[in-house]
Amino acid sequence: MEFLRSKIKEEGRVINATTLKVDSFLNHQLDPQLMLEMGKEFKKRFEGKGINKILTIEASGIAIGIMAGLAFDVPVVFAKKKKPSTMSDMYCTTVHSFTKKIDYDICLSKEFLKPGDRVLVVDDFLAMGNAIIGLEKIVAEAGAELCGVGIAIEKGFQEGGRIIRDRGIHLESLAILDTMEKDEVKFL
Amino acid sequence: MEFLRSKIKEEGRVINATTLKVDSFLNHQLDPQLMLEMGKEFKKRFEGKGINKILTIEASGIAIGIMAGLAFDVPVVFAKKKKPSTMSDMYCTTVHSFTKKIDYDICLSKEFLKPGDRVLVVDDFLAMGNAIIGLEKIVAEAGAELCGVGIAIEKGFQEGGRIIRDRGIHLESLAILDTMEKDEVKFL
């Protein structure tokens, strides 16, 4: 997706060999037009899969998720990172973040994911793939079907992409980083 | 906004006299079409104010924020509820949540709010108004101008609305709850 790659080139900041900061359009400040285009692009790439629900994780996944939901005209549900006090009947699983070096729980109300649901998971980054595998578990537990995973930026130099594809999951990443050396991002 | 009021009537669940659960379309599962319409409605209500930035708080404000940003065609920035490790130069303030009975910090990178910015703050709920007052502080600290506050659901029986309006802030709430008795929501 040329628009996203240009944004990364122009505004992304390479922090080190594995960390790219895209705070100005994806993680803290958000570019609504870019998000809209990403939603449409996911619609194109997962056309005909009968998707009836978008699943993502708070907080950075929400903007991408809502635009995917708009493009597909289906509801969006986001997993919460801690157990809300008003939520009782939930799917929960623990995710390890290699980037942040922490474990966290993701929780989803059983009300919003049901057997027969055909789910597209979307997220901002794919690094080691643990968040996606956590969501895959929740989808399986709900008896729903994971029809695909749509990612804004895949870190091609980390394991996540290979792991997800090896599980037979249809993965589409809108930009795949190859290397980040000397402050310069190269794409696959 | 009739569409939102109908949704609240149909899907909102009254937990007690002050708590309304709208998990099925606003807080956990999201209705993209409703969010899009809310964005357009804010555009209509704050037309001609020269707004060039939407400000909100993670996580429930993000979906509303991005749709407001789309309607205004301006960037959206969301305050984070904890200090991110990769963010150094920030505005931070502490907010007390009466609903959740906790204090939490909200932080915003100084990069994304500047003197001269004309800001519309949006959020899902307005109860006691503390989150909004926290954001107002950050806007003032940045030397930016708070041009208005757009809320999806105002709890008309709590103080927030009066407090915000008494500060001379242009507040627009798309649905104002009057009472929630015997499982029935009434609007102002």
| Structure confidence at residue A27 (pLDDT) | 93
3-class secondary-structure state, position B49? coil
Q: Which of B36, B59, B74 sits opposite A62 (nearest CB)?
A: B59
Work out whether the CA dihedral B3, B45, B173, B39 comes out positive or negative: positive
Cross-chain residue pair B30–A87, CB shorter than 8 Å: no
pLDDT at A36 over 90: yes
d(CA A97, CA A1): 26
d(CA B52, CA B74): 5
Give yes or no for a contact between A106 and A133, defined as CB atoms under 8 angstroms apart. no
The pLDDT-based confidence of B87 (bands split at 50, 70, 90) is low
What CATH number does the domain located at A2-187 have? 3.40.50.2020
Give yes or no for a contact between A169 and A136, defined as CB atoms under 8 angstroms apart. yes
Distance from CA of B82 to the nearest CA of A (A): 12
- Integer Rg of chain A from CA: 16
Q: Which of A29, A73, A78 sits opposite B76 (nearest CB)?
A: A29
| Structure confidence at residue B149 (pLDDT) | 98
ipTM field: 0.96
Q: Lowest mean pLDDT: which of A36-40, A175-179, A183-187?
A: A183-187
What average pLDDT score do residues A78-83 get?
90
pLDDT at B140 over 80: yes
What average pLDDT score do residues B17-34 get?
95
| Structure confidence at residue A87 (pLDDT) | 64
pLDDT at A182 over 90: no
Q: Where are the domains of chain A?
A: 2-187
* E strand residue ranges, B42-133: 53-57, 76-79, 90-97, 102-109, 118-126
| Structure confidence at residue A137 (pLDDT) | 98
Distance from CA of B187 to the nearest CA of A (A): 23
Per-residue model confidence as pLDDT tens digits over A88-107? 799 999 999 887 889 999 99
Cross-chain residue pair B66–A63, CB shorter than 8 Å: yes
